[in-house]
Structure 1
């Protein structure tokens, strides 16, 4: 009798299971898609067959998530029956892509600012050892690498005050402030694998992001994990380069975690330019409820790299691979260990009101032997950012209000020693440093008409620097010295008008300010330049965007006036110092055109795309006198007036691909007097390879490439106004690389 009841129970259970059949197709071609991984809300994932079909037996409606490489991830809820799902190929069509700039997640066509997106496809076009090449394909953006991992970011010429490091540009990583409160950014602590996409806002953006005239870079890590994935990469190249990465991601309920470890080493093209970087990242995403999400992340970075130093023209001609005399003997280099941890929460109070809040903590252990001295710093910092968003109506029209604040502070013990053969000697001076910055921000976006939006934003900013000198071996003054910058209100006003769903224009008026960093106030020879003023600027901008079908077009013209411009010079001892240089007049145009010649998922050649990006920076000094010299009217130091980048990307059905990039950079003035220039140069990079997925579980890729194909002689990051004519930081000659990637998707 028990056996009969058991059979009846199993029969009833089977009949109670509903059958859901799903067919997955390409949205444009309507061709069935094989090897699509479909993850149900409950139970195990499945893979679509050659007809794009799979089936589930479920007892209730469920949410399904669809994942396939090269396509957007989507989710949908289904009940019993047959269903068809259309996947959209990943695209950078301006009418489709959504960006989160100015804390307002909108399609790019609706954004009233000059914004460029650096996608995962852009990163994968090059060797993946740094962010330089991918960012430099975008108009108005230039990243320089004076030595491996020694970055400078120039957005519309903003690196004039950055002889080394990243300044005057605000950087966020996963919505957390990554720029220190003193205004510097250790961008080299991140590996490219810690970044999946980036948004670059060009020009002053203080209304939402605080201090900085150069712009904002928003970096984002890999998205939420789907299912489970284990991956490994390995790459080798010229100049002793090796790089390997191991990563794992795991979905846990509606959340999950991702972890990765990367090691990259190279001997470098020049003497004293070796690199050794190891980075570990762990990120978690937890959906607590329909109203609450929590995100965490930890980054541990161990970075060591040499500093070869600048060469003069004779040294460059004799041997561009040599280091500056003294760099090797003094072990001129940087060693930096850092931990960065954050936790954030998104809470939805109602369908109209939500809050996003993040807090972070970081530690830093920094050593910098240099030819003239030996610097050691140990410090930590903390801070946070919060914003409230309200979506409602005003006079029957959509209104979005965003308000919040940001606060950061850092404490550092800094000591400068003599350098004897690369070893720290007698202490010269020692300080306890504190940097603090904070601001409140408010922004309103109002749709006056269906296709016309007005934006008005404000921020109220404050910042201060403290230098508490503990030791001064030269018998100079000791004690606490403070520089507080007057609170400043930074406004932004913008308009956006859309002609239709595919095109529109925008205009903006924005201001910005940028106080000096501690490294500009506290210099390596021990002086304190507390009289250095903050830069202040105002920017006028107008732009046009078109994104329809296979064509993208983005045009921008701007006029930026900057007062109290901070520039650099070098004293006879070789120490870089800073001064305010009156004002600058910066006019520019930026253009980007992309066109898909072929886009057909059922053909042999599935994608063939071409693109061009032009940057015209026509910047001059105004009212700039230094002693008996009047540089008013001269071109702005370190800025190329014309840059042109051309791209070609080919992808075929068997999985073979080719990426080709040509970059022309016009001559660059290297001193304020405009008597020395770097010659114009043409840089060609290419990458080719093969990538396929198998059975919906395995992803394989083999690739190779060549950088500087034309074997051009150029510098990627010259020294400006140096003593002794040491302008040049020679970049590598023609060099090769190659590697493999493998990933396994477990269900």
Structure 2
């Protein structure tokens, strides 16, 4: 099952032919009925921004959350970790302080590189290689998004391949119907800079949008014996071109989306000893002075949308290319202890010498590994929606098919650098390739879902199919290869009962699935599977918006894989079975707005999550986050409690907002016998504040303070040592729209 370029070209030609045929009998410039056009825009918006604006009571099952454009603009967050603070059921392991490579999990699934969630942009998979290598080392810049959506439970069955945890959809700016332009400039602590511009309009049937975003910061850490920056520089360009073929009988258009992004960041995986962290948390050892990540990402996406009566169909042809190389400290040479071992016990007789080399106090060799990787993800997907009435039952049928191919090429190599007694690294020597391989996957996905409404009851039944053919090839040895195939059907069933026009209850069950790596034999490591249950209450009366959900995920097999981002103590990309695990909890989100006076409102919201997990079997694993697990042990990086309180004041020409996030303590490892056994990430409380003032003629000035109390805490000791969250950051910005 290959994605042939000829096949894609033929599909595009057929698409164009279909467009021309539909328009042949219509006057060239005949406008559609305005009421129909508005309804059509709403239906198309639901394909791109799936949840809409929460302006009605949603009757389908499955827990969902929407972070709207207005909410995103309140705090001007660049970090997706902070954006998701208002979404219940999200567990996060922070890393660099800026959210450059987030680690996001839902309902207790591992947050490692967000690999257990289906990550999408405008409804299309956006991870570099979502089947072959799902770890999301690329993540879109949230600053250019107009909405963020989260789907959990049966609501995620449409968006695979990963259906255990759920899906995250990032929504980009749409082509405006009128002439629209805006600029956003900001400057802040640590030489933070942001320039964000967009312009677009629609003239007749043709519309376009161009958008550019640039951000940088020098970083908040300092490197021993060096004045090098520890920050980042990112740029992102996007253009959309849209032509509308709509007539009086149909909504019909084609849109081309082009995007390019790049990043250079002076990031490392090497942290600190706990003792050094307590003295100076924003310190970096001399060994990290040459660590650097560089990547580029580009997207080409052609979208065709047609709406005929009660049926609409959207087809997207897409290709994403991602190339990265990350040079960072990887080891201290053959026979030396691991970096994490050294930093856990730096004063032992075995480790003291190596600690002094890392910190630039003693001469010695340091191995820097460069993980050079290239990815491609491409495919064609069609999603159809059909609404009709059969007897007394209203049906909303959604169906989709996706033909997808992705691959990852690894060209990892190591070089030896000499640390001098003056704390500087010399030139590279002894270049040696370590991992030179490819993983490639062809996948066919289908889903069918019918939401059936009779009076106050809506029952939604769905099924998803995944047909996956994968291949691993060691490019150093043509005889070292493995092919595997997976065929699975994933059912879901949910129900919503409307107790009142403004509120109701729901429940659902669905099967979760995460495929195993192409280089893993299914006889050794099984795919991840679970049966997931939920029940909840939903309210939306125009003033109060609330959703409270209890969930229970019963894993028949929990699967994890080893990556550089979590440890240097296991073989890269090897998978591990965790057996039967139960994860359960409670999620709640309540939002409201008080009217204090005729000119002053007070919006507020509460987001709370309670999550517990239990291994049902005792076992010993080489996976560095498990070790010797006893029945009843909890999974790592799952806070029992997390709470976010948001409140503000909003007047005609100004607003003030505050967000307080509490995260409970998290285990670094589940069992005994691994080097972080018994270690916990302490609970933390972060307060962010923002203020905006609106001048006449669309001028706005805003001031924001992230972590205003300058909370200092360890966000993780993985992969190699204690790492801090971002300290206080002050940013002053200016916006102008015209």
Provide TM-score, normalisation by structure 1: 0.78
From 594, 597, 603, the equivalent of 1:597 is 594
Indicate how the Cα distance of structure 1 residues 205 and 245 shifts in structure 2: closer, same or farther if over 3 A, else same: same
1:579 is matched with 576
| Paired residue secondary structure (1:307) | coil
Residue 564 in 1 paired to residue 557 in 2?
Answer: yes
Q: Report what 1:248 is aligned to.
A: 199
The alpha-carbon deviation at position 316 of structure 1 amounts to 1.4
Partner of 1:321: 282
Q: 2:115 aligns with which of 127, 142, 167?
A: 167
Change (3 A) 1:227 1:103: closer
Distance 1:263 1:367, change over 3 A: same
* Structure 2 CA distance for partners of 1:704 and 1:490, relative to 1, 3 Å: same
Residue 678 of structure 2 corresponds to 675
Label 1:555 to 1:187 Cα distance change in 2 as closer, same or farther (>3 A): farther
Corresponding residue number in structure 1 for 2:82: 133
Secondary structure in structure 2 of the residue aligned to 1:230: strand
Q: How far apart are 1:376 and its partner, in Å?
A: 1.5
Mapping for residues 514-663 of structure 1, pairs under 5 Å: 514-517=514-517, 531-567=524-560, 570=567, 572=569, 578-598=575-595, 603-605=598-600, 607-626=601-620, 629-653=628-652, 655-663=653-661
Secondary structure in structure 2 of the residue aligned to 1:150: coil
Is 1:178–1:185's contact at 8 Å kept on the other side of the alignment?
no
Contact 2:80 2:102 in 1 (8 A): no
Task: Check conservation: 1:109, 1:503, Cα contact below 8 A.
Answer: no
Q: Unaligned regions of 5+ residues in structure 1, if any?
A: 1-59, 66-73, 77-97, 472-476, 523-527
2:460 pairs with 1:455: yes
Distance 1:172 1:429, change over 3 A: closer
Q: Which residue of 1 aligns with 2:700?
A: 701
Shift of 1:599: 7.3
Matches within 5 A, 1:40-439: 107-147=56-96, 148=98, 149-160=100-111, 162=112, 165-179=113-127, 180=129, 181-182=131-132, 184=134, 186=136, 188-203=138-153, 207-212=157-162, 213-271=164-222, 273-290=230-247, 291=250, 292-309=252-269, 310-323=271-284, 326-328=287-289, 331-348=290-307, 350-372=308-330, 373-421=369-417, 425-439=431-445
Counterpart of 1:481? Answer: 481
Q: Distance in 2 between matches of 1:508 and 1:61?
A: 43
Determine if contact 2:49/2:171 at 8 Å carries over to the other structure: no
Between Structure 1 and Structure 2, the one with more strand by share is 1
How far does residue 531 in structure 1 lie from its aligned partner after superposition? 3.6
CA drift of 1:189 comes to: 4.6
CA contact (8 A) 1:587 1:617 kept: yes
Query: SS at 2:103's partner residue?
Result: strand
Cα distance in 2, alignment partners of residues 143 and 123 from structure 1: 19
1:185 and 1:683 mapped to 2: Cα distance?
Answer: 27
Partner of 1:71: none
Larger radius of gyration: 1
Kept in 1, the 8 Å contact 2:263–2:296? The answer is: yes
Given that 2:157 and 2:492 are in contact with CA atoms closer than 8 Å, whether structure 1 keeps it comes out as yes
Structure 2 spans left out of the alignment, 5+ residues: 1-29, 40-44, 223-228, 331-368, 418-426, 622-626, 672-676
Mapped to 2, the partners of 1:735 and 1:604 lie a distance apart of 31
Corresponding residue of 2:22: none
The residue that corresponds to 2:502 in the other structure is 502
**SS class of match (1:370):** strand
Shift of 1:134: 1.8
Instruction: For residue 183 of structure 1, report the CA deviation from its aligned partner.
Output: 5.2
Deviation by residue 1:336-376 (Cα, 9 ceiling, x = unmatched): 1111110111123x313332110101222211212222121
Residue 166 to residue 333, structure 1, CA distance change in 2 (3 Å): farther
Aligned-partner Cα distance in 1 for 2:210–2:299: 15
- Name whichever of 684-693 and 263-272 sits farther off: 263-272
When the two chains are superposed, the root-mean-square deviation of aligned CA atoms in Å is 3.1
Is contact 2:210–2:240 with CA below 8 Å preserved after alignment? yes
Distance in 2 between residues matched to 1:188 and 1:646, nearest whole Å: 30
CA distance in 2, matches of 1:260, 1:624: 53
User: Contact (CA 8 Å) 2:102, 2:139: kept in 1 or not?
Assistant: no
2:694 pairs with 691, 694, 716, which one?
691
Are 1:126 and 1:133, in contact at CA under 8 Å, matched by a contact in 2? no
Residues 135 and 143, structure 1, Cα contact 8 Å, conserved in 2: no
2:317/2:381 contact within 8 Å kept = yes
Q: Secondary structure at the match of 1:317?
A: helix
- Relative distance call for 1:509 and 1:574 in structure 2 (3 A) is closer
* Contact 1:183 1:517 survives alignment (8 Å): yes
Over residues 192-225 of structure 1, what are the superposed CA-to-partner deviations in whole Å (9 max), with x where a residue is unaligned?
Answer: 2431012100246563122211211122112330
2:471 to 443, 466, 469: 466
* Residue 583 (structure 1) shift: 2.5
Deviation at 1:186, TM superposition (A): 4.2
**Conservation of the 8 A alpha-carbon contact between 2:126 and 2:320:** no
Are the counterparts in 2 of residues 402 and 443 from structure 1 also a CA contact under 8 Å?
yes
Kindly state the Cα deviation for residue 252 of structure 1 after the two structures are TM-superposed.
Answer: 2.1
TM-score by length of 2: 0.79
Change (3 A) 1:318 1:387: same
Distance 2:50 2:655 in 1: 36
Give the match's secondary structure for 2:74.
coil
| Contact 2:154–2:492 (8 Å) recurs in 1 | no
Q: In 2 relative to 1, CA 714–437 (structure 1 residues): closer, same or farther, beyond 3 Å?
A: farther
Whole-angstrom distance in 2 between the partners of 1:689 and 1:140: 30
Contact 1:376 1:415 in 2 (8 A): yes
| Aligned 8 A contact 2:61 2:155 in 1 | no
Distance 2:531 2:185 in 1: 47
Rounded to whole Å, the distance in 1 between the matches of 2:276 and 2:555 is 36
